Amino acid sequence: MNPVKTLRLTLAAALLTAGTLAANSAQAQAPLKIGYTSVQYVLSQMPESKQIESSLKTYNEQLAAQMKSKYTEYQGKLDAYQKSANTMTDVVKADKEKELTGLQQSIQEFQRSAEQSLQQKQQSLLRPALDKLQKTIDEVATENGYTYVLNSDGDTPTLLHGPKEGDISEIVLKKMGITPTAPAPLKAGPTTGAGAMPAAPAAPTPGVNKTKTKSKK
């Protein structure tokens, strides 16, 4: 073999070995560190969460009041139609049924629009808190040497196993000057209960005057 070629191969092998050792040494000096946190839990501890919940509740109650007003109008006209349907001419009956169908469609459309509006309102209210949380997580990760930080929330968990010491939730809260209390995760979507919007009514059945249409509970 050519002596020059042999020397080149030897030098290349030596450099490759040296590079591998250097890389292994760097990994040994800076081991991979993975942390995880529950975004939902940390959000529930932030003072902003109470204001978000309050604002969402108020907004939902406003939508529910509008929905109730529309439904009351519909129910009143439906009652009047059912009481007088047997004495109405075909032309009048058809006109009343068309009016009721239009009101029903209007209520259903309002319900869909209200649900979308409530979700958008929630996202708008959450965005500043999420931005603040992300900034704090970035700072905590840098200061504590975490290579990765995972979110342990979700129906399909992104974290299948992790030691307790990897949970940086308390450190994030401390960084923001928050003393944690019992967890109370923020609820997503329309609220239920006294302020919840009633379901849209079913379409009136032409000519029926015995059974009243009722809202679903």
pLDDT digits (tens, 9 = 90+) for 134-162: 999 999 988 998 888 888 887 665 664 56
Q: Quote the DSSP letter at residue 85.
A: G
Q: How many residues does the chain have?
A: 217
Residue 36 β-bridge partners: 150, 167
Reduced to 3 states (helix: H, G, I; strand: E, B; else coil), residue 35 is strand
Structure tokens at 205: 């059945």
- Residue entry with tokens 């967890």: 183
Please tell me which residue, 144 or 16, carries the higher pLDDT value.
144
> What radius of gyration do the chain's Cα atoms show?
32
Question: Does 107 have pLDDT greater than 90?
Answer: yes
Question: Does 18 have pLDDT greater than 50?
Answer: no
Q: Does domain 31-154+162-175 have CATH number 3.30.910?
A: yes
Residue 151 β-bridge partners: 37
Structure tokens at 148: 């990765």
Predicted local distance difference test score (pLDDT) of residue 164:
74
Q: Rounded to whole angstroms, what are the CA distances from 3 to 7, 8, 15, 17, 136?
A: 6, 9, 18, 21, 60
Q: What pTM was computed for the model?
A: 0.60
Predicted local distance difference test score (pLDDT) of residue 181:
79
Question: Does 26 have pLDDT greater than 50?
Answer: no
Reduced to 3 states (helix: H, G, I; strand: E, B; else coil), residue 10 is helix
Query: Torsion over CA of 65, 71, 73 and 77, rounded to 10 degrees?
Result: -170
Question: Does 132 have pLDDT greater than 80?
Answer: yes
Low-confidence winner among 116-130, 164-178, 195-209 (lowest mean pLDDT): 195-209
Please tell me which residue, 25 or 116, carries the higher pLDDT value.
116
Structure tokens at 154: 């979700």
Element (H, E) at 73: helix 48-84
| Helix pair 48-84, 90-143: axis angle to 10 deg | 170
Please tell me which residue, 3 or 139, carries the higher pLDDT value.
139
- The closest of 114, 109, 127 to 190, measured between CA atoms, is 114
Taking residues 121-134, report their average pLDDT.
93
